[in-house]
Structure 1
Amino acid sequence: MTAPTRSERTDRSPGPSYQDLLDADTREVPDFLRTEGESGFGIADIPASFYFDRDLVALEKERIWKTVWQFACRETAVANPGDTVVYDIADLSILLVRGDDGGLRGFYNACLHRGRQLRQVDGPVSELACQFHGFCWDLRGELARVPARWDFPQVTDEAFVLPQVRVDTWGGFVFVCLDPDQVPLRDYLGRLTELEHWDMAGRYVEAHVEKLLPCNWKVAQEAFMESFHVVTTHPQLLRGIGDANSQYDAWGWTSRAITPRGTPSPHLSYEPTEQEIFDAMMGLGLDDPRILELPDGATARTVIAAATRSRMAASLGPKADELSDSECVDTFFYTAFPNFHPWGSYNRTCYRFRPNGADPETCFMEVLVLSPFSGERPPDAPVRRLGLEQSFLEAVELGPLARVFFQDEYNVGFVQKGLHTLVEHKPGVSFGAYQETKIRHFYALYRGLMGI
């Protein structure tokens, strides 16, 4: 007997399912949006100690960060010979280098003499020289120079080649993997590669913000893996977002959520008009002047979809007119285990979450805005780094998203503090069976690798 699809199940919110909205689309929708993945990962609690147990930090390093494929940088950051990027994860450091032969390599970022990092910052170089004693390697990782070599009879060219990690690219992203036995990158990404439909490689980094947050990296990313929090954290969005009507799917190492917009939240106690839905999607308050009066019979979804097609024509050309209403309006947010979160269609947002060294109480959240363009590729934006005492509101390059991220960052520190108290009387965190599917899928993979 075939399991019921999400649209056929009865344990769901009132209102149209995402598949119902696709049925009403004014354009042909991509086939992969019609698919539904796994969403049943049980209802067991997740131990609260997962978020602050210091012993788990070392275990995560060995069983997560040393085994998985992980997003390190955009290809444009290492496009030319001599370009380097330092990618730090936990207390490990990887150095990505574009060789003079055009090859892209990833080296363990440590001098083989005394262990000093070869590079602390990104940027172009002609060689990989240690700033401590001057041991030097060429861009292919082969030993080039040793000061006072007469004093190192044990140092041979063969023994002192820089050790490498696996490197591969997809969608304009560079990935690294420290496990030689892990599956190839495309196999690992699996269904996430459907993002190729929206040309992820043909983007430039319009904005890149890194924020230090007062919480564990898992707490931070969980805030961006479901739409369940919208009803309380982002109430200004409710008139124009079907938060509880989202579709959640998981396959292998990856998962996907699709949150419909241009349709009201089932949490509302009234039915907003199409004009009110449109105004909410434009970020307007109840007393703000309207941007546009909708024609009689028009829906917010179709009006915004038409405007999006018109706007995207500058970068997409005739392809823009083929975009479905869903691609123009809805929110698609994907995850590749453990910490890579690109958005689909032309929403442009991409997240990465990393532990702050060996500290389980803080982490780095990064937001990249990946924008399509026409003509010559614009230069990528530099990284804006925000400390604990700063706010996403300072990241003006994020536009209206800065306010939304500020609402999210406000919660996560209090979650981290609360978990220390929660564990005193309730050992676990209780996630929803469906709306928090992506998080439950993450922990199915996490616990499997960690053996806990």
Structure 2
Amino acid sequence: MTDQVELSPEDIIARSPSESFQDLLKRETVDVPEALLESTDSYLGSEDLSAERYTSREFFDLEVEKVWRKTWQVACRENRLRKAGDYFVYDIVNDSILLTRTESGELKGFHNSCLHRGRVLKKGAGNSDKLRCPYHGWSWDLDGEFMGAPCQWDFPHVKKENAKLPEVQVATWGGWVFINMDEDAPSLEEYMEVLPEHMNQWKHEQRFVALHVEKVIACNWKVAFEAFIESYHALATHPQLMPFQGIDNSQYDVWGDHVSRTISAYGVANPSHADQFTEQQSLDAMMELIGVEDRPQLAPGQTAREMYAAMNLPVANEQAGEDFSGRATMSELMDSTLYSLFPNFAPWAGHGTVITYRHRPNGDDVDSCIMEIFLLTRFPEGAESPEDAPTFRLGIDQPFSEAAGVMGAGFANVFNQDGANLPQVQKGLKASKKGAVTLGNYQEVRIRHFHQTLDKYLSAE
């Protein structure tokens, strides 16, 4: 552990001395949503965290019992369960949950295990008029009611009333299907705290998956998740972002136990690098990242932030089938506004195409995880949702650049840089003589908030 020093109030609340995100909002020419105007300025302590939280089998097993089997977590998009008979299997560590759309249109979730000899009933996703075990043919209807078995005469002790498939809680928000294996857990609405109030205006339910990349990474799931709830690492890891992304003065917020947020402004040079780039160079760097070859030129007095927002506006209008002119802030059209819901769901906010991350253990392996990147694109209200894009899967030794054809070379390179760090973090945690990690009071406050919530679950009876 590092030696702890006495902190003054000024040390505790230290922020980048440059213009804050809230200062940028004062330049907006339209009404700013109340959600963006909130700034929590939270200090949650300065204590180190033990490295064993990321490397210990005992700690991992406790997470399985106290977190994965007790929390609300995203299983899939509702688009995967559109019509009666659609099913989808969500696996988390050694648990497997079978989701179905019933004949009445209800969503149901069952433990994916035959009550006869335990075989999983379904794999992947598909459509079926019943849930039939391929091993011996025991069958249930889409509501989980027992339909019967071959040679039923040999099972006089198995009655319909005692052979119903065990259920899990299922709920939806923003087009996502959530499950919770704890029968006594609070409702999803209660669990989500301020998130719906903040996010509903950006209509995640009115979106389809334009891109889905899934990659196995050689690190504990928390190591990967934490890399995407702080922007501090971008200073060293993503130097190509410095011309157009305000990293030093990213805003970090936490609410309750389950919700936190980072907002990093686009279209402004990072404050530590501001003297190195003109407004035109900031814009050019953004265009390079997103693959725009014809570089627009700024008008006299126009900022890169104003130009980028103007470029994004017609795209957002077309996707949503409505006109955001005069009512969408520049922030909603471009900034990285990344929320998270404990334990592993991280949706972006905004009017255009937005990213959502999900990180979870890779089976029961302490040292590897599955990282998923979803791009969610709006479609007009009243229109039928387009089909979701197929999943592009990358193995543990495949870099994100192998998905460059579907996600773009610029973005693939950013994720490659993260992907290069994360296995080395896991290796370093195991090799650490210090045996602990030290967090920034502000820029890494979301990580501390996450671990404080994690401890509440791990210590619960």
State the TM bucket, normalised to the shorter chain: over 0.9
Q: In the TM superposition, what are the counterparts of 1:186-205 in structure 2 within 5 Å?
A: 186-193=189-196, 194-205=198-209
User: Is 1:349 aligned to 2:359, yes or no?
Assistant: no
Q: Distance in 1 between matches of 2:421 and 2:40?
A: 30
- Counterpart amino acid of residue 349 in structure 1: I
Of the structure 1 ranges 201-210 and 341-350, higher mean CA displacement relative to structure 2 is found in: 341-350
The Cα offsets for residues 120-169 of structure 1, whole Å up to 9 and x where unpaired, read as 12110111001111111011100012111111122110110001000000
Partner of 2:389, secondary structure, is coil
Q: Aligned-pair distance for 1:271?
A: 4.6
Q: Which residue of 1 aligns with 2:406?
A: 397
Q: Distance in 2 between matches of 1:92 and 1:227?
A: 33
- Counterpart amino acid of residue 277 in structure 1: S
Q: Aligned-pair distance for 1:105?
A: 0.3
Q: Which residue of 2 aligns with 1:264?
A: 269
Partner of 2:296, secondary structure, is coil
User: Is 1:182 aligned to 2:182, yes or no?
Assistant: no
- Counterpart amino acid of residue 367 in structure 1: I
User: Is 1:235 aligned to 2:244, yes or no?
Assistant: no
CA contact (8 A) 1:313 1:321 kept: no
Q: Aligned-pair distance for 1:385?
A: 1.4
Q: Distance in 2 between matches of 1:404 and 1:73?
A: 25
Query: Of residues 308, 312, 316 in structure 2, which corresponds to 1:312?
Result: 316
Q: Which residue of 2 aligns with 1:221?
A: 225
Scaled by the length of structure 2, what TM-score is found? Answer: 0.92
Q: Distance in 1 between matches of 2:117 and 2:60?
A: 25
Q: Which residue of 2 aligns with 1:329?
A: 334
User: Is 1:25 aligned to 2:28, yes or no?
Assistant: yes
Q: Aligned-pair distance for 1:36?
A: 1.8
Q: Aligned-pair distance for 1:180?
A: 2.0
The Cα offsets for residues 218-246 of structure 1, whole Å up to 9 and x where unpaired, read as 00111111110111111011011110101
**CA 1:409–1:116 in structure 2 vs 1: closer, same or farther (change >3 Å)?**
same
Scaled by the length of structure 1, what TM-score is found? Answer: 0.94
Q: In the TM superposition, what are the counterparts of 1:52-451 in structure 2 within 5 Å?
A: 52-193=55-196, 194-252=198-256, 253-268=258-273, 270-283=275-288, 291-316=295-320, 317-345=322-350, 346-374=352-380, 375-395=383-403, 396-399=405-408, 400-422=410-432, 425-451=433-459
Aligned residues: 443
The Cα offsets for residues 375-430 of structure 1, whole Å up to 9 and x where unpaired, read as 442111111111112121121211232221111111101111111011xx212111
Of the structure 1 ranges 221-230 and 389-398, higher mean CA displacement relative to structure 2 is found in: 389-398
CA contact (8 A) 1:264 1:277 kept: yes
CA contact (8 A) 1:312 1:320 kept: no
CA contact (8 A) 1:88 1:94 kept: yes
Partner of 1:295, secondary structure, is coil
**CA 1:15–1:290 in structure 2 vs 1: closer, same or farther (change >3 Å)?**
farther
Unaligned regions of 5+ residues in structure 2, if any?
1-8
The Cα offsets for residues 160-197 of structure 1, whole Å up to 9 and x where unpaired, read as 00010000000000000111222211121122211111
**CA 1:284–1:224 in structure 2 vs 1: closer, same or farther (change >3 Å)?**
closer
Q: Aligned-pair distance for 1:15?
A: 1.4
User: Is 1:48 aligned to 2:77, yes or no?
Assistant: no
Q: Distance in 1 between matches of 2:99 and 2:293?
A: 50
Q: Aligned-pair distance for 1:266?
A: 2.2
Unaligned regions of 5+ residues in structure 1, if any?
1-5
The Cα offsets for residues 313-350 of structure 1, whole Å up to 9 and x where unpaired, read as 21232235421011112110010000001111035100
The Cα offsets for residues 12-61 of structure 1, whole Å up to 9 and x where unpaired, read as 11311010000111222111111123621111111101111111222111
